[in-house]
């Protein structure tokens, strides 16, 4: 007779680890299956870690988690072809412990998180791919893996298998993912000596800087770029909607290569050595593209459930939070001896509605569509903003009033006054 567990978790990313850890800590018999050689080998993230979500799972994580730098400064850049305009927010408050955000390297972080899962008592098995969910009538009762004797049973299966969950699709929980609902991101890690990073970014010790970018770097596609400081390396990447890549026939790799040549970015990377190149999908369809997230004997957590806030580049924290809450749902039902029926697991959705996860998902639900329909946000506006700055700053004998007029005209020339007002309104509505 095949072995039976209280819960099986598919995937060992932040969502799966949060779920497995929480369940095992509560004393449940937990099996976690991961297809990668070890946890983290398949995963890609920028990566910024948001302390809050992890603190709720492992309060003292700072003691031994592999953290790179805590973030004290955020730069937001809008880039034209050869310039950028933007803001820097740097606060000493971010330099006070406990720190709020860190850069991490996912391969190391996931390994650490997984060691915690094992210590909590879960059985973690890697290099094993779950091929199918096993159903009895309509109820999920286990999984089938790619190994001989691969049927394993459980009261509940938590799908934490990341973006484009093939399992959920195979089981009929959602349809084929739409290319307009996923972004394709590529990133590189560039090695640089610690001292160089510190002097280039005006930081010391474990302080870190984030640069988020929009504008011409995405060549008219809906997307963003980023640059993060790690201890001894920089992470640079860019992501755009898959549908745009398809339509514009631009290769993600070429896009990143061009971005690295941008005069605002190039000096930051000078003399660095590329250590790693990765590509990964990000589910960015938002609330309206979310699949059903629970049913008889199953729940979906993390990227597999579209839980990403693309506007704020938050994903891992939603993954951890959904993982934790799914686990807490199981713990609560088990304590009351209730079966894992769809009606009982509805508690998962209900609990999530109370958290920032669902509130933010709902808040930004119009965003994906607005960005799709307004590509000029990524081309015309960056150009205009940079031109405006340039016009105002260049001292060339022209009086300021005329300069203001020129700027106004350049905006209206590119986009009708009506269009400008409309854009402002759309964005305001989306952020409201």
Ligand X SMILES: Cc1cc2nc3c(=O)[nH]c(=O)nc-3n(C[C@H](O)[C@H](O)[C@H](O)COP(=O)(O)OP(=O)(O)OC[C@H]3O[C@@H](n4cnc5c(N)ncnc54)[C@H](O)[C@@H]3O)c2cc1C
Residue 1 found at the interface with another protein (CB under 8 A)? no
Residue 422 found at the interface with another protein (CB under 8 A)? no
What spatial distance separates the first Cα and last Cα of the chain, rounded to whole Å? 55
Nearest distance from C-beta of residue 282 to ligand X, angstroms? 5
Residue 128 found at the interface with another protein (CB under 8 A)? yes
385, β-bridge pairs: none
Nearest distance from C-beta of residue 86 to another protein, angstroms? 30
Nearer to another protein, 145 or 264 (CB): 145
Residue 208 found at the interface with ligand X (CB under 6 A)? no
Pick one of ligand X, another protein, none as the site partner of residue 130 (Cβ within 5 to 8 A by kind). Answer: ligand X
Q: At what angle do helices 400-414 and 380-393 cross, to 10 degrees?
A: 170
Note whether 367 and 310 are within 8 A (CB). Answer: yes
Among 47, 65, 221, 240, binds ligand X (CB under 6 A): 47
Pick one of another protein, ligand X, none as the site partner of residue 47 (Cβ within 5 to 8 A by kind). Answer: ligand X
Among 63, 137, 148, 399, binds another protein (CB under 8 A): 148
Residue 273 found at the interface with another protein (CB under 8 A)? yes
Cβ contacts of 34 within 8 Å, gap of 6 or more: 11, 12, 16, 42, 124, 125, 126, 127, 128
Pick one of ligand X, another protein, none as the site partner of residue 161 (Cβ within 5 to 8 A by kind). Answer: ligand X
421: left (phi over 0), alpha (psi -120 to 50) or beta: alpha
Dihedral angle of Cα 200, 204, 210, 215, to the nearest 10 degrees? -20
Residue 105 found at the interface with another protein (CB under 8 A)? yes
User: Cα 90 from chain centroid?
Assistant: 23
Structure tokens at 390: 């340039």
Residue 197 found at the interface with another protein (CB under 8 A)? no
Triad 232, 39, 238: Cα angle to 5°? 50
Among 7, 13, 134, 225, binds ligand X (CB under 6 A): 13
Which string of x and - marks every residue 261-300 that binds ligand X (by CB under 6 A)? -------------------x-x------------------
Cβ contacts of 383 within 8 Å, gap of 6 or more: 80, 81, 215, 216, 414
Q: At what angle do helices 356-363 and 342-353 cross, to 10 degrees?
A: 70
CA distance 102 to 81: 30
User: Cα 181 from chain centroid?
Assistant: 14
Pick one of another protein, ligand X, none as the site partner of residue 19 (Cβ within 5 to 8 A by kind). Answer: none
* Window of 77-85, 161-169, 342-350, 372-380 that interacts with ligand X by CB under 6 A: 161-169
Residue 41 found at the interface with another protein (CB under 8 A)? yes
Q: H-type helices in 166-297, by residue range?
A: 166-170, 194-201, 242-248, 252-260, 266-269
* Window of 102-110, 217-225, 260-268, 323-331 that interacts with another protein by CB under 8 A: 102-110
CA distance 315 to 106: 13
Note whether 293 and 130 are within 8 A (CB). Answer: no
User: Cα 105 from chain centroid?
Assistant: 14
Residue 357 found at the interface with ligand X (CB under 6 A)? no
Nearest distance from C-beta of residue 58 to another protein, angstroms? 21
Give the residues lining the site for another protein (CB under 8 A).
3, 37-38, 41, 105, 107-108, 123-125, 128, 145, 147-152, 191, 193, 273, 275
Give the residues lining the site for ligand X (CB under 6 A).
10-16, 33-36, 42-48, 129-130, 160-162, 167, 185, 187, 237, 239, 280, 282, 302-304, 308, 313-317, 319
């Amino acid at each position: 007779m095949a072995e039976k567990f209280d819960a099986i978790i598919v995937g060992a990313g932040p969502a799966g680890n949060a779920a497995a850890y929480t369940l095992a800590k509560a004393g449940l018999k937990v099996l976690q299956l991961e297809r990668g050689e070890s946890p983290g080998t398949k995963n890609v993230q920028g990566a910024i870690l948001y302390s809050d979500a992890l603190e709720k799972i492992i309060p003292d994580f700072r003691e031994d988690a592999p953290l790179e730098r805590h973030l004290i400064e955020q730069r937001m850049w809008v880039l034209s072809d050869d310039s950028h305009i933007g803001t820097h927010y740097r606060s000493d408050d971010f330099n006070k412990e406990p720190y709020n955000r860190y850069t991490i390297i996912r391969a190391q972080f996931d390994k650490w998180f997984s060691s915690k899962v094992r210590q909590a008592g879960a059985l973690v098995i890697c290099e094993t791919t779950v091929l199918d969910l096993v159903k009895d009538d309509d109820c999920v009762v286990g999984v089938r893996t790619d190994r001989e004797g691969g049927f394993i049973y459980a009261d509940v299966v938590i799908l934490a298998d990341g973006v484009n969950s093939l399992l959920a699709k195979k089981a009929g929980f959602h349809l084929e993912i739409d290319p307009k609902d996923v972004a394709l991101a590529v990133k590189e890690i560039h090695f640089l000596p610690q001292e160089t990073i510190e002097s280039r970014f005006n930081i010391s010790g474990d302080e870190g800087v984030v640069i988020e970018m929009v504008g011409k770097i995405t060549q008219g596609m809906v997307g963003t770029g980023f640059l993060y400081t790690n201890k001894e390396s920089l992470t640079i990447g860019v992501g755009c909607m898959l549908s745009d890549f398809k339509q514009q026939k631009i290769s993600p790799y070429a896009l990143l290569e061009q971005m690295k040549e941008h005069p605002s970015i190039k000096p930051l990377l000078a003399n660095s050595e590329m250590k790693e190149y990765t590509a990964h999908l990000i589910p960015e369809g938002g609330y309206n593209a979310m699949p059903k997230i629970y049913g008889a004997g199953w729940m979906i957590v993390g990227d597999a459930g579209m839980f990403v806030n693309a506007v704020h580049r938050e994903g891992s924290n939603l993954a951890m939070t959904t993982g934790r809450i799914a686990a807490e749902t199981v713990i609560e039902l088990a304590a009351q001896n209730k079966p894992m029926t769809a009606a009982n697991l509805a508690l998962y959705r209900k609990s999530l509605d109370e958290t920032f996860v669902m509130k933010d998902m709902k808040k930004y639900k119009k965003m994906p569509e607005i960005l799709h329909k307004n590509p000029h946000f990524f081309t015309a506006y960056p150009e205009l903003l940079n031109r405006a700055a340039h016009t105002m700053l260049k001292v060339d004998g022209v009086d300021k009033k005329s300069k203001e007029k020129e700027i106004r005209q350049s905006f209206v020339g590119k986009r009708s006054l009506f269009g400008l007002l409309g854009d402002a309104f759309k964005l305001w509505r989306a952020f409201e």
